[in-house]
Every structure is written in structure tokens, then in C-alpha cells.
Amino acid sequence: MKKILSILAIALIALAVKAQEKSPAFIPQPESVVTKEGSFLLSSNTTVYVPTKFKSDFQPYIGEKLLNDTGIKFQVKSGTRTPASNYILFDLTKDKSIAKEGYQLDVSSQSIIIKANTYAGLFYGFQTLRQTIPVNTESFELPCLVVKDHPRFEWRGMMLDVSRHFQSKEWVKKQIDIFAAYKMNKMHWHLTDDQGWRIEIDKYPNLTKKGAWRADRSGIAWWSRELASPEEPKTIGGFYTKEDIKEVIEYARVRNVEIIPEIDVPGHSKALIASYPHLCCVDSANFEVATGGKAPDNALCAGKETTYEFLDNVLTEVAELFPSEYLHIGGDECNKTNWKKCPLCQQVMKDNDLKDEEELQSYFIQRINKLVTSKGKTMIGWDEILSGKGAQGATIMAWRRNKYTPHIDAPKGGYPTIQASYNHSYIAQVQGPTDMEPEGPKVVLPLWKVYSYEPIPEELTAAEAKLVKGTEACLWGEFTPTESHSEYMLYPRSFANAEVAWSQPELKDWARFQGALEAHFPRLDRDKINYSTSMYTVYAPFAINQLKNEAIVYLETEMVGYDIYYTLNGDEPTTDASKYEGVFKTKPRTLLKAGLFDKKGNLLGKVTEVRLK
């Protein structure tokens, strides 16, 4: 009997493996995927039917994407289907068993039916369908399967910083298109900072006339750049007109992406202060837009009523422009040095019985919160707004970790919280060995670490955990001067974040995700998306044992299922070189070269080169 059960178990495992191999490579991983026999032939004879309610949005979008993915121009109609077979039907249902952004995708040999009870659900069902379409082929046979799916979190965000380095409207739209394809639904737009003001404000034209431009320091390390002088030409920068922003918002709306603007105050405001110096505490500051990391005197004066009047007018225009229910006001990293010596700030502290400058910041944030609320918006702030007396009613974006615990404190304090962990989600950090990557913070955030993130802290109760709205990956712009470099930092790590935000924890599997990612690379190539292959890099930590005059070497990579080959004689590694089997010893000062290879003998990624000294 035991032998029969053992044989049966082996057979079931074999069937499961076979089914997994047959299943398309999805990112993010759906809740349930059941494969069936047969396939659906996607061809010029296929007709697509969309709900009349969504005709104006869906018809052009679906036609555009299917043409991009197949080269075929499909008939996309609205209303009731007429053919008996070979059709794709978007079925807007009232099935309450399907979650708000959830969907059901049923691919049979005769039809494809996507069911959902919301626009978002139909949209995401289509994205899953697109991932079943083969790449680089002339015949498009889609495997028969049934997918049932819904997101884990309502907030699946990406932040783009266009203040440090301005990026074009067209590039921003391209990224929104990619985010949406991987079921991300929030784009946090960091529009203002020390190095540039990027949004047109009618009442204060100097914000873009002066605040959007800075002196050129290209080629000089970000944190080593000298301050600008008034006489220098200001040639680096740019800004979005209100019409530009409306265009981006509409583009995102069709793709179910909500655009959340950030106006960063009271710190990170050098571009604002350079444009309107009277908002600063001091009269003797350098009133030029910051050229790089150095930005002294960049905090707005918390003691002047004109500061709040100014921000009220700015936030009014921003709120009118963006339909999002949220408005992000920054609130992070405020240098309070000038507040300590400003008579007006000190008087406000005295008048309001504030014990220190931390409570003065809380006073500032609470006043801004009232302004935001008066405009029908919910304020979001970085977790520093929790200091002092906090800001009840606001949503917290928890980024700090290590000695700070806002990811725990905010939900325990009753705040809706978005997890944007510096340790797991700040993808401006390099993604491979620092000496093999472009300039960036000297911290490595590899792909696997982004993927391994769990946004719900164990310390939270079930009720507190419900206050975690989701997660967000942040691409700060200090070290991404070009659009190509920005994409290199975004992809594929943003896809890892997409799965963290969408898929249930028990569905996550690094080996499966790795395989799915590699299957998606041809799609990225087809769509001219620049991406990093740093995940294939070999790390080569070593130690020198002076007692025995030897180097002890350990080689490692984040990818699984591949082999490392290395040389010690200066030759480029191939599969004819030494295969890494474990820690080894060699002579000091030896030149080590190592690479990761697939089973066909192809080098993956770059060769790591290290002098063992």
C-alpha cells in the first residue's frame, strides 16, 4: 500500500511540474492558475468585444497593445458579441465573489473571456492575457487556462523623482505604461526639491522661470558640487506646463494609474526659496537653485504668515490640477538650524507653547494638513511628520528603518501607512557590486532583496495590519541624469516590488520569479525598455591570511540554477575554466575573473574582475 501511495505521490509531483512548465511566466504571480489542454489561436480573425461603458478608453488602448504585442490590427468592438468562436470578450459582471480590482481569465480553444466587476479588474485581466502572448513568433497560440486573481494591497506604488534631474513628459508616460502592465496603480510624482521646481504655478511664475533651472555641474560628483553664483547661466532643468500634467494624468487614468503629486516642504525647498527669497528665515543666504547635494538654508520659515499664505495658493492650484484624493507634502529631512535663530520662529514657539523645533515642525505640518484637507484632499507625508505631535488624519509614507520604526509606529498610532522601506524599496541604491555599477549610494540593493520584502511587520495586530495600505518603490534622482539610466535602475527591481504588492506571500518564490523575469526580458527588448542584468553578477568576497600568505575566496550570485566559472591567470572565464564548487585558496595579488553561465555555456551578465590583495 505504501509503495502504491509513493508511486501516486511521484506521479502527482510530475504532473504538477509539467503543469508549471506549461503555465506562462506571470509577473506578478496570480492567485490561481489552472492550465488546460489545448490552445487559442490569436489571429486577424479574432474579434474583441469591450463593454460599451468603457468603449472610449478600452477600444483604442486594447487595439494599440494587441498591435504592439502581435503586429496584428484587431477589430475591437463594443456591445454584444456575434461570432460563435474565436473572440475575446471583456465581461463586466456583478459577481460579488470577484474583488474590486480582481478578475477571472478563461482561455479556451474557442474564446477568451475576462470577467470583472470594475474597470480596473478588466484592465488587469488584459495585462495577464498579454503575458500569455508569445514573443518573437509569427503564430500566436495561447495556452488554455483559467486564472483567478486579485491584489493583496490597494497601494502598489512607484515614485519618480524628476526634481533632481528633469525627465521628459514622453518618458514619464512610457514608465506609466510599463507600471500599469505590471499592475502597479500609483505613481508618486516628486515634483519639487532643492535642485528644481517642475510644476507650473500661475500665481507664482518665478517658480518655473527661476526655480526650474540651475547652473551646470555635469561630470562633478553630486555631493562635491559648488554652489551657484547669481551671474552664472542656468541651463540645466525644465518643467511641466499644466497642459503637460493634464496629458500625463489622462494617460495614466486610462491605465488605472493614479498620479499623486508631491510638493516637498518645509525642507528640500531650495528651488522655492531661490525663486521667492522672502520665504527664508535669513536674508543673507545663497538664493540660487541647488546644483547638487549641497543645499544650505533650504527650509521655509515656519514663523512667517506669508509662508502659509504662499503655500495655500500653491496647494490650491495643485489640488485643482490633480484629481487624486491624495496630496503629498514631503515633510522629510528638515534642517532646523535657521529656525533656532529666527526671531519669528522662536516667537511662534513661545506663542503656541512649543517646547522645541520638533514641535515647531509639527505645528507647521498640522497647518499644512488643514490647508490640504480644506481642498478636499488627504495629506501624505514622509514619516518625519510623526515627530512632535504628529498629524492626525494624514497618511504616512514610512521610509526610515534601523534606529527608526515608523513602519510599526505609524499603524500602531492609527495612521494609514504606505511602506517605502529604505532597506528594501529605495532603488536609487546600486543593484550590484559598487565597483561595477554606475555612480550611486554606496549601498547595494540587489533584486532578490527587493523581492524578499514583507510589508506587514510581525509586531502589528490584525487590526493594525489593515492600516498598511501597501508598498512603494522609490527612484530618487540624484544619480540618474538620463532617461536610459533611470530605466536601468527601475527595471527589473520595480517588477519585484510589483509582485510584493500584488501577490500573496505564500505565492512568492524566488526561483519561479527568476524564471518568469527571464521570460519577460524579450518583451522588454521588443518595447525598447532599458533594464539591468546586474542580478547575474558574481560577488567575490575574499580574505588575506597573512600567516599562511594565502587568499581565501568565496564566490556567490543571487540567481539560482546557474554555474560560476573562474580563472586565476587573467584569461576571460568560459565553461572550460574552473567551475566554482566552494571556498578555495590561492596566492595573494592573483587576478580573479569570474562569470555566471547557463547550461548552454552562455555568459550571463558581466565578468567580475578582482585583484586579491
Residue pair 296/287 in contact by the 8 Å Cβ criterion: no
> How many angstroms separate the Cα of 114 from the Cα of each of 87, 91, 388?
11, 6, 50
Q: Which of 150, 188, 190, 268 is catalytic?
A: 268
Largest CA distance in the chain: 90
Is 333 in the active site? yes
First to last CA, the chain: 62
CA distance 600 to 610: 26
Is 193 in the active site? yes
Sign, CA dihedral 339-345-348-353, equals positive
CA angle 508, 444, 489 (to 5 degrees): 75
Nearest CA to 318 among 473, 185, 192, 477? 192
Q: At what angle are helices 169-181 and 483-490 packed, to 10 degrees?
A: 20
Kind plus residue range of the DSSP H or E element containing 523: helix 510-526
Is 550 in the active site? no
> How many angstroms separate the Cα of 216 from the Cα of each of 224, 414, 485?
13, 45, 19
Three-state DSSP string of 98-125:
CCCCCEEEEECCCEEEEEECCHHHHHHH
Which parts of 337-417 fold into alpha helices (H)? 337-341, 343-351, 357-374, 406-412
Q: Which of 149, 161, 193, 297 is catalytic?
A: 193
Q: Which residues make Cβ contacts (< 8 Å) with residue 589, sequence separation at least 6? A: 611, 612, 613
Residue pair 300/314 in contact by the 8 Å Cβ criterion: no
Residue pair 499/508 in contact by the 8 Å Cβ criterion: yes
CA distance 56 to 22: 36
Q: Which of 309, 320, 333, 572 is catalytic?
A: 333
Residues annotated as catalytic (active site), given as ranges: 193, 268, 333
